[in-house]
Amino acid sequence: MSQTRPTALRTEPAAASALEDTRRANLARLFKPRSIAVVGASADPAKAGSQALKTLSRFPGKLVCVHPRETEIQGRPCYPSFADLPEPVDLAVLAIPARHCVRAAAEAAERGVGGVFIVSGGFGETGAEGAGLQDALGEICARTGMRLLGPNTSGFVNPAAGCIASFVPGVDTIGTGSVAVVAQSGGVNLSLGYLLDRLGEGVSIAAGLGNAVDVGTRDMLDLLAEDANTRAIALHLEGVTDGRALFETLKHVTPKKPVVAVVAGRADIGEFAVSHTGNLMGSRERTVAALTQAGAIVVDTLDELAQAAAVLSRRRMPPKAANAMALITGQAGPGLLITDALKAAGIALPELGPTTMETIEALLPPMTFIKNPVDTGRPGPGFPDVVRAAAEDEAIDAVLVFGISEPSVLDPAAALRPADEATGKPILFGTLGPAPDLQKARDDLAALGTPTVIGPDRLALAGTVLDADARHQWRLSHAAENAPSPAREKLTGPFDENAAKQLMRSYGIAAPRSVLGETREAALAAFAELRKPVVVKIAAEDVAHKTEVGGVILNVRDDDAFTAALDKIAAIPTKTPNRVLIEEMAPDGVELIVGGVRDPSWGPCVVIGLGGVQAEALSDSVVGLAPLSETDVAVMLDALRGKKLLDGFRGLPRCDRSAIAGVAIAVGQLLLDHPEIAEVEINPLRVNETGAVALDALVVLGGKP
């Protein structure tokens, strides 16, 4: 948390801690208020303040207005100022122009208001003047501990508390549910609220953060992790400025509550994004990697986000590296599409065990497919027992059931209950049919805690997100500890290839045996000692691109060739014409690139990619946040599109993946230990059956001093 607190607070730990407690308590007051004041309501019903008052009409607690002249608006008592309030309210809704907000916020804080929600735009998103107002608001919050949602947002809803804090009419139709929404955009927050409502799910708390001067994503995650009404969190991110802190927060939240996220920025939408959020999007690839590594699930669309969060609010699976599922379908065609989607997502549908198949075979007509999926044909009386048999198969972690509504032959609750009671494993149900049938299935199955989804695609999605959640939590449970190595001296450089490789070796990364020849004589002596063939490389600080100038000579086997190589290098213009690096040639293998970068938001990251111009053109690389564990790297390598190149493809050696992991972990640790390093690149890292060797290495200083 310390990265975003003003420095002044750090110097007085006790006061800081008290203020932190106040802030935490006020955050809960803001989102679960027992009393609310609206500022900006008037006799004019079109005003945002009047609309906000109206949408709060169901609020069961104390609801008042602050207005300089009126005594009553919409039947609610008015007070001339915050100071006049008989008691400090938990939440104040400021539906007034930006220029009046700072003073109102200051007065609210003075009166002990828990939090304010500022509707208006006209702050940081509009230029310097607005940014000044925004800074003033931030200062009030930091000083007093009052919390602020917004400005520039459509607000939040907490239907269970009857608190609809928004100026948008109709938001009060969003029902009460177990999914919380945290969106950087107010419009996306409303969109997700409506989408969840259309799924029959509703929300616990749904908040649009807007400019997020005070209340940010991490505050919401901390609040929701402990919120009894919230069982899953739907997260929307545009740009993330304090990524590393979000990463740490998520690592603590996702084991308690599943988090599903949409991250804007699949395409280049830079200019509009900056105009909207006021900050750069950053690398979406790194954002997705960080969220995943912290145990969250990233999907592409709001439709998927709402559906995935709804499913996970009803069921989670225990952490596991890979899950096997069974599919029981009443209709073959949809079953084929579900199977297809699950397999495309990498989920195993293993053949059921012999005992299971025997049981199922006895329950179904002959000639049906029973290996997995099980195609029951039109559901018959044995359907519930088929589902239970599949669930009882010890190789199966979850069962998906699909059946088009046909009440005379399929009662969903009766079909799924035996399996649920016998095994406790997740049994998901997908269906289609007339709306009343679907509603009945959903209601009946809700009692079992079983997610019901509409259609084959969503059943496949449900299985996919349950699996992803379990896999990501398993990976998170195998995450590396964030422990720097014993104190290391600050590096000063400069790093030529030789020095860079020495640094790599000190971190346990193998590099070919080599000798730096400062003179021709030294070079000749070194050559005699090394295993042939060798590669001879120019080692001149003033030559950047060794290969382009003919400064790398491969496969030097004998004295003649070696002296010819020295002659060739000596002819290259440089201040140190005879300085060469002589290196034993590494065995053949697959070439990878392992890089370490310091992301402005996410901090030290390790990138692993396949070497070569084609892999580069296809951007086939994966990224993870340091520190990395063996598990992290294993998962990352599995995400390379060209991963089969690591497994003995077309006569290439089968690569030692643990050796790659060792290098990647070490590169991450190097960045963690040495904040003065901006960037590291091992290119290529040559890998075969027995290990990984850094053939070239680059270290760039200039990170955080």
* Binding residues among 630-649 for a second copy as defined by CB under 8 A: 641-642, 644-645, 649
Query: Smallest gap, in angstroms, from Cβ of residue 332 to a second copy?
Result: 4
Instruction: Name which position in 170, 449, 508, 600 contacts a second copy (CB under 8 A).
Output: 170
Strand-strand pairing, 91-94 and 35-39: parallel
Q: Which run of H or E residues covers position 54? A: helix 48-55
Q: Is 191 in the site for a second copy (CB under 8 A)?
A: yes
Q: Name every residue whose Cβ is closer than 8 Å to that of residue 427 and which is 6 or more positions away in sequence.
A: 387, 391, 398, 399, 401, 416, 419, 420, 448, 450
DSSP-based three-state secondary structure for 132:
helix
Please state, in angstroms and rounded to a whole number, the distance separating the CA atoms of residues 164 and 228: 19
Q: Is 127 in the site for a second copy (CB under 8 A)?
A: yes
Phi, psi of 664 (to 5 degrees): -65, -45
Instruction: Choose one: 193-201, 289-297, 488-496, 534-542; the region binding a second copy (CB under 8 A).
Output: 193-201
Please state, in angstroms and rounded to a whole number, the distance separating the CA atoms of residues 396 and 467: 12
Please state, in angstroms and rounded to a whole number, the distance separating the CA atoms of residues 165 and 171: 9
Among residues 184 and 359, whose Cβ is nearest to a second copy?
184
Q: Is 455 in the site for a second copy (CB under 8 A)?
A: yes
Residues in binding contact with a second copy, number by CB under 8 A: 94
At 172, list the tokens: 């009060």
Please state, in angstroms and rounded to a whole number, the distance separating the CA atoms of residues 386 and 403: 13
Phi, psi of 407 (to 5 degrees): -55, -30
Q: Is 453 in the site for a second copy (CB under 8 A)?
A: no
> Which residues inside 216-245 make contact with a second copy, applying CB under 8 A?
236, 238
Q: Is 70 in the site for a second copy (CB under 8 A)?
A: no
Among residues 369 and 507, whose Cβ is nearest to a second copy?
369
Q: Is 173 in the site for a second copy (CB under 8 A)?
A: yes
Q: Is 549 in the site for a second copy (CB under 8 A)?
A: no
> Which residues inside 253-292 make contact with a second copy, applying CB under 8 A?
262, 264-269, 271-273, 275-276
> Which residues inside 381-410 make contact with a second copy, applying CB under 8 A?
404-408
CB 148 within 8 A of CB 141: yes
Q: Is 297 in the site for a second copy (CB under 8 A)?
A: no
Query: Smallest gap, in angstroms, from Cβ of residue 612 to a second copy?
Result: 6
Q: Is 205 in the site for a second copy (CB under 8 A)?
A: no
> Which residues inside 564-623 make contact with a second copy, applying CB under 8 A?
610, 612-618, 620
DSSP notation for 380-397: -TTHHHHHHHHHH-TT-S
Query: Smallest gap, in angstroms, from Cβ of residue 285 to a second copy?
Result: 13
Task: Give the x-and-dash track for 75-104 against a second copy (CB under 8 A).
Answer: ------------------------------
Query: Smallest gap, in angstroms, from Cβ of residue 400 to a second copy?
Result: 14
Strand partners, 609: 593, 621
At 232, list the tokens: 């899953």
Q: Torsion angle of alpha carbons 504, 659, 674, 609, nearest 10°?
A: 100
Query: Taking CA 338 as the corner, what is the angle to CA 337 and CA 339, rounded to the nearest 5 degrees?
Result: 90
> Which residues inside 652-681 make contact with a second copy, applying CB under 8 A?
652
Instruction: Choose one: 91-99, 123-131, 389-397, 596-604; the region binding a second copy (CB under 8 A).
Output: 123-131
> Which residues inside 319-338 make contact with a second copy, applying CB under 8 A?
330-337
At 108, list the tokens: 């609210």
At 99, list the tokens: 């220029």
Instruction: Name which position in 58, 99, 198, 513 contacts a second copy (CB under 8 A).
Output: 198
Query: Smallest gap, in angstroms, from Cβ of residue 470 to a second copy?
Result: 20
Instruction: Name which position in 115, 121, 145, 155 contacts a second copy (CB under 8 A).
Output: 121
What sign results for the dihedral spanned by CA atoms 293, 295, 301, 302? negative
Please state, in angstroms and rounded to a whole number, the distance separating the CA atoms of residues 129 and 18: 33
Query: Smallest gap, in angstroms, from Cβ of residue 26 to a second copy?
Result: 26
At 543, list the tokens: 């030559």
Among residues 32 and 458, whose Cβ is nearest to a second copy?
458
DSSP-based three-state secondary structure for 142:
helix
Among residues 110 and 125, whose Cβ is nearest to a second copy?
125
Among residues 194 and 527, whose Cβ is nearest to a second copy?
194
DSSP-based three-state secondary structure for 529:
helix
Q: Is 439 in the site for a second copy (CB under 8 A)?
A: no
Task: Give the x-and-dash track for 18-57 against a second copy (CB under 8 A).
Answer: ----------------------------x----x------
Query: Smallest gap, in angstroms, from Cβ of residue 414 to a second copy?
Result: 17
Task: Give the x-and-dash track for 508-547 against a second copy (CB under 8 A).
Answer: ----------------------------------------
Please state, in angstroms and rounded to a whole number, the distance separating the CA atoms of residues 278 and 262: 19
Burial class (CB in 10 A: 0-12, 13-18, 19+), 366: exposed
> Which residues inside 128-157 make contact with a second copy, applying CB under 8 A?
154
Please state, in angstroms and rounded to a whole number, the distance separating the CA atoms of residues 55 and 48: 10
